[in-house]
Amino acid sequence: MGSDQVSEMIRDIVRKIVTSYEPEKIILFGSYAYGEPDEDSDIDLLIIKDTDKRPIDRWIEVKRLVRDRHRRAPVSPLVLTNKELQDRLSIRDFFLQEILEKGQVLYEG
């Protein structure tokens, strides 16, 4: 898949999430963000949204929004509230620190 096709696929996914889920922020991370995807890569997204829903319910909601059997790369969302993000950063969660430092902000509302 060419880079133009990948970019359009990611834009389409972000559009669906923004329109239907109304997040505060979406950050692309992982191999697609860092320019190293291969045929087994998934599209990793950190989605920030303040909500009272349980983490598993947030994940299911986003997965249903972006489900597409014809897409080669599956979407792997990580949906956190602002408080959850700040709590994890306060304990020096290196995974999230790396996402915030190296990831590509695709949407900020």
- Give residue-wise pLDDT tens across range 7-39: 899 999 999 999 999 999 999 999 999 988 888
HSE (side-chain half, CA atoms, 13 Å) at 70: 1
The per-residue pLDDT for 92 is 97
- Helices within the chain (DSSP H only): 3-21, 31-34, 55-66, 82-90, 94-102
> Residue 94 sits in a domain of what CATH number?
3.30.460.10
pLDDT digits (tens, 9 = 90+) for 66-108: 988 667 788 999 999 999 999 999 999 999 999 999 999 999 9
Structure-block tokens of residue 109? 């509302």
Residue 73 in contact with residue 43, Cβ under 8 Å?
Answer: yes
State how far the Cα of 64 lies from the Cα of 43, in Å rounded to an integer: 15
Identify the burial level of 4 via C-beta atoms within 10 angstroms of its C-beta, where 0-12 means exposed, 13-18 middle and 19 or more buried: exposed
Predicted pLDDT of residue 59 = 96
By residue range, what is the domain housing residue 16? 3-108
| Number of domains making up the chain | 1
